[in-house]
Amino acid sequence: MRTGKACVGFKTFQSGTPTLNSKPNTMFNLDSLCFFKTNLQSAIIILHPVSTVTGTISSYSITMLKVPEHQVAGRQAIDGKLGPLIDNSGHFYKPLQDDDERGTRELTFYHSFSSNTRIPHHIRRFFPVFHGTQLLKASDGSGLRPHLVLQDITSDHLNPSILDIKIGSRTWYLEASNDYIQNCFHRDKTTTTVSLGFRICGLQIYNESGFWKPGRKLVRNFTADDVRSVLRKFVSSNVGPEPDCCFADSVYGGCDGILERLLELKTWFEDQTMYHFRSCSVLLLFDKESFLRGKTPFAEVKLIDFAHVVDGNGVIDHNFLGGLCSFIKFVSQVLADSKGSTMEDKF
Amino acid sequence: MRTGKACVGFKTFQSGTPTLNSKPNTMFNLDSLCFFKTNLQSAIIILHPVSTVTGTISSYSITMLKVPEHQVAGRQAIDGKLGPLIDNSGHFYKPLQDDDERGTRELTFYHSFSSNTRIPHHIRRFFPVFHGTQLLKASDGSGLRPHLVLQDITSDHLNPSILDIKIGSRTWYLEASNDYIQNCFHRDKTTTTVSLGFRICGLQIYNESGFWKPGRKLVRNFTADDVRSVLRKFVSSNVGPEPDCCFADSVYGGCDGILERLLELKTWFEDQTMYHFRSCSVLLLFDKESFLRGKTPFAEVKLIDFAHVVDGNGVIDHNFLGGLCSFIKFVSQVLADSKGSTMEDKF
């Protein structure tokens, strides 16, 4: 039996409609294509044709793509817009953007990085696994579009707290268009990018009452003090005005903690002159439930968004490195303060 | 006997004139003030009144100020312009600039830094010693102007090779005027500041035939390869197209070498959140003659130019740090290459 893949249709669902008359992974004929009841806002059906020995397609199995539940920044595949999708097998499908050639650039980066033998194993772990590209009907209804197939970083976690931090005091680069440079220049000055060397682009923090997920405008106006506050809340059991930082030591500290991972990255950035990561984010993930159940990893550090990676030309990425060092200092201070307050609590 | 200081006059000399009829440090009365033959382009005479026990000024000793011979960047006190002067006692007199409040800012920095007990001793050594201020007639003939009295870093060296490297991928800062930001933004993009995270602002390299001191325009157009070439020439016995790097190991390497000093600075910048050093330079000095005679220090690393230092506000100076790391990488590569070529020579 030969198998193949075919991307057939895109349809936006409203919760509860249309009528349920099939289930995921049901085998069915193309003629009887139908949709099933779902509680997702939107979904893409991929039909995998199942052929007979004579090559005739007898039936299809389906894969359902949905809007990532835990996406905290970037364009979202909602309201007819172009955005990434995920499946239930741990894949993240990111549409290649065609404005400013950023799509091509991200794909080029993944190809280069995947085959680059000079990337140490412990550094490769910081990057989502790349599974190639796949043609899918885009979530904005614009037709077939190539998507990067990447590791879905959140797939192993039920309620992950996530911080998306765009690193660097400058998001533009000399090779970009003048309009792009001016837009970035303005945005960098009016956020913490210039002052702190990084900015939080999005976040969600899980607590007993659900996720705290401030809106984009609020996040964009974050000050240095807001950043400190977010870093405290990220490792607290509460997100009120006085976060308890009770997970700080476990999540930020220790030899498996986020701080140690960031320092590993820093060491690599002090040396590597292959890539310059403009507008790239460090994603911090912490899953309280995994932690409380003793599951590992309960905290992760990943790099994401490589649409603006340019050739390093033999120079280190001083922009990323400087911003990363600044962010490390912020995390260190939260960790030190939390230890200080724990000590105070004890005496 | 009480002594005091008085700043009395400024006069521009042409080489060989006026007639010699007094010597430096000669005691003489104000009435008999006269000038002496000099081969300096310009000089300032400071009269130090020598008083009797009754307080009457009986005579004056003189200090002669001259244009720094080894100044490689910044405004120069020539052609009626405002610039720094030096004396023969190892002092560097830097006029306080009054545009953009940069003079006040530099003085404020020196006062703050001098009295700051959180500056480790080994870091203080990187900064010129600050001896307060002194009212002097400015070299541009504009009248009395306060001057910072600083350590003249070059005074112990006969023929120092000097590199002045402005550190940081951004020379502007949010507190500056819009015009200043736009000027810096343009200059940063058109020099190596943005691409490398630093730019060479000036240099002189001593060799058998005298100093190689390329003009400002040439220096401003330096590329990454030019920077590498300059770093090789700095530690070579020749400045031709194939510098021999014969001093690389002694000057850049070793526990007293420039690289080790730069790494010391880096460690401090990873931690300190007190000052942000915009448009500040690292000055590298190497005196071949001191080296060949076994005198120490034959190589030095200093920080200079603090007219654009702003409050760190609890954030590390990620802009300086990133640029410094990039510069460190360049120096490391020259050192590694020179070792490689030495090995190749041997085998």
Nearest Cα neighbor of A224 from A242, A259, A197 is A197
Please tell me the class of the B158-340 domain: alpha beta
DSSP string, A311-343: E-TTS--HHHHHHHHHHHHHHHHHHHHHHHHHH
Q: Quick check: B203 pLDDT over 70?
A: yes
Whether the CB-CB separation of B59 and B45 falls below 8 Å is answered with no
Q: Quick check: B336 pLDDT over 90?
A: yes
Q: Please report residues of A whose CB lies closer than 8 A to that of B174.
A: 189, 194-195
Whether the CB-CB separation of A166 and A203 falls below 8 Å is answered with no
Asked if B197 has any chain A CB less than 8 Å from its own CB, the reply is yes
Q: What is the mean pLDDT of residues A174-203?
A: 95
Domain boundaries, chain A: 158-340
Best of A318, A321, A334 to mutate (most B CBs within 10 Å, chain B):
A318
Q: How far apart are CA B135 and CA A31, in angstroms?
A: 94
User: For a pLDDT cut of 70, what percent of chain A falls above it?
Assistant: 81
Across chain B, mean pLDDT equals 84
**Sign of the CA dihedral with B101 first, then B103, B106, and B110 last:** negative
Q: What is the pTM (predicted TM-score) of this model?
A: 0.85
Q: Which position has the token pair 């977010």?
A: A230
Identify the closest residue of chain B to A171 by CA–CA distance. B194
Asked if A335 has any chain B CB less than 8 Å from its own CB, the reply is no
Residue window 218-277, chain A: list those with CB within 8 Å of chain B.
Answer: 224, 270-271, 273
User: Tell me, what's the pLDDT at B314?
Assistant: 97
DSSP string, B247-313: THHHHTSSTTSHHHHHHHHHHHHTT--SEEETT-EEEEEE-HHHHHTT-S-SEEEEEE--TTEEE-T
* Integer angstrom CA distances of residue A55 from A32, A46, A47, A156: 20, 20, 16, 37
Q: What is the mean pLDDT of residues B46-71?
A: 73
Q: Quick check: A238 pLDDT over 70?
A: yes
Q: pLDDT band at A76, cuts 50/70/90? A: confident
Tokens of A330: 């912020």
Q: pLDDT band at B123, cuts 50/70/90? A: very high
Q: Quick check: A99 pLDDT over 70?
A: no
Q: CB B321 to CB A323 under 8 A?
A: no
**DSSP one-letter code for A145:** E
User: Tell me, what's the pLDDT at B43?
Assistant: 55
Asked if A316 has any chain B CB less than 8 Å from its own CB, the reply is yes
Asked if A326 has any chain B CB less than 8 Å from its own CB, the reply is yes
Q: Quick check: A246 pLDDT over 80?
A: yes
Q: Please report residues of A whose CB lies closer than 8 A to that of B321.
A: 321-322, 325
Q: Please report residues of B whose CB lies closer than 8 A to that of A197.
A: 315, 318-319, 322
A110 to chain B, minimum CA–CA distance in Å?
Answer: 23
CB pairs under 8 A between A and B: 80
Q: What is the mean pLDDT of residues B282-297?
A: 91
Best of B199, B310, B318 to mutate (most A CBs within 10 Å, chain A):
B318
B65 or A16, which is more confident: B65
Q: How far apart are CA B209 and CA A60, in angstroms?
A: 83
CB-CB: which of A194, A224, A316 is closest to B325? Answer: A316
